[in-house]
Structure 1
Amino acid sequence: MDLNEITRRAMRVHGLYDELNLAKHGRTWSRHDFILGFVGDIGDLAKLTQAADGVRPARPGPGLGHELADCLWSVVVLAELYGIDLEAEYDTTMRQLEESITGELEQGATP
């Protein structure tokens, strides 16, 4: 599955949530509501990674893979809602990081 397909599917699910929220609550989520939901998902992800590392007890329900996919969905939707070309930004950011890290390694980075 490529990023375009992931984005199409993410936005289709986002549209379904809009329909559900409109039917149940009379309104859809704003971008601000959506980011707050994402923060909650990140909290769930943190708890699941702690459980996977034995720091806290495991809880019943969706696992780490589910929560990672949920967070990816949120990132993809947020990029669309804010008009960000995620593929281009990812490429640029990774290139910058590779160059920066490689430069430090070549200079013999010390702690």
Structure 2
Amino acid sequence: MEINELTNRSRKIRATYHQLELKQDGHAWTSEQDALAFLTDAGLVGRMVMANQGSWPTGNVDSPLDYKIAECIWWLSTLADSNKIDLESAIAKFLDSREKDLK
């Protein structure tokens, strides 16, 4: 999948969630609330990786690790979009910088 497709599909899904939030909370979540939701999911990724390595109890897992990682990518796409960041350009700039610094 191309990054622009990720951004467009993520934007549509987020708009649908905003409608659910309006019904539930009376307002759509803010970018700050989205960031907190991302951090929660990122923490779950950490715990799931630890569980895969045998250093954390597996417990009751609602979704597999690959799904949770994909959800984090979706959150990052959503956060970039809501903060007017071109995700494709930001990723390219980051990778270029890392490659240059590590040569």
- The aligned amino acid for 1:43 is G
What is the aligned partner in structure 1 of residue 79 from structure 2?
Answer: 78
What is the aligned partner in structure 1 of residue 31 from structure 2?
Answer: 31
What is the aligned partner in structure 2 of residue 105 from structure 1?
Answer: none
SS in 1 for 2:69: helix
Following superposition, the deviation at residue 20 of structure 1 comes to 0.3
Following superposition, the deviation at residue 94 of structure 1 comes to 0.6
CA radius of gyration, larger in: 1
Task: Provide the rounded CA distance (Å) in 2 between the counterparts of 1:4 and 1:86.
Answer: 8
SS in 1 for 2:54: coil
- The aligned amino acid for 2:26 is G
TM-score scaled by structure 2? 0.94
SS in 1 for 2:102: helix
Q: Where do residues 6-17 of structure 1 align in structure 2 (5 Å cutoff)? A: 6-17=6-17
- The aligned amino acid for 2:87 is L
Aligned length: 102
TM-score scaled by structure 1? 0.88
What is the aligned partner in structure 2 of residue 47 from structure 1?
Answer: 47
Task: Provide the rounded CA distance (Å) in 1 between the counterparts of 2:88 and 2:21.
Answer: 29
Unaligned runs of 5+ in 1: 103-111
What is the aligned partner in structure 2 of residue 92 from structure 1?
Answer: 93
Following superposition, the deviation at residue 2 of structure 1 comes to 0.7
- The aligned amino acid for 1:16 is T
Query: Would you say 1:68 and 2:69 are equivalent positions?
Result: yes
Unaligned runs of 5+ in 2: none
Identity %: 27
Task: Provide the rounded CA distance (Å) in 1 between the counterparts of 2:28 and 2:90.
Answer: 28
Please list every run of at least 4 consecutive aligned residues from structure 1 whose deviation after the TM superposition is greater than 4 angstroms. none
Following superposition, the deviation at residue 65 of structure 1 comes to 0.4
Task: Provide the rounded CA distance (Å) in 1 between the counterparts of 2:56 and 2:32.
Answer: 30
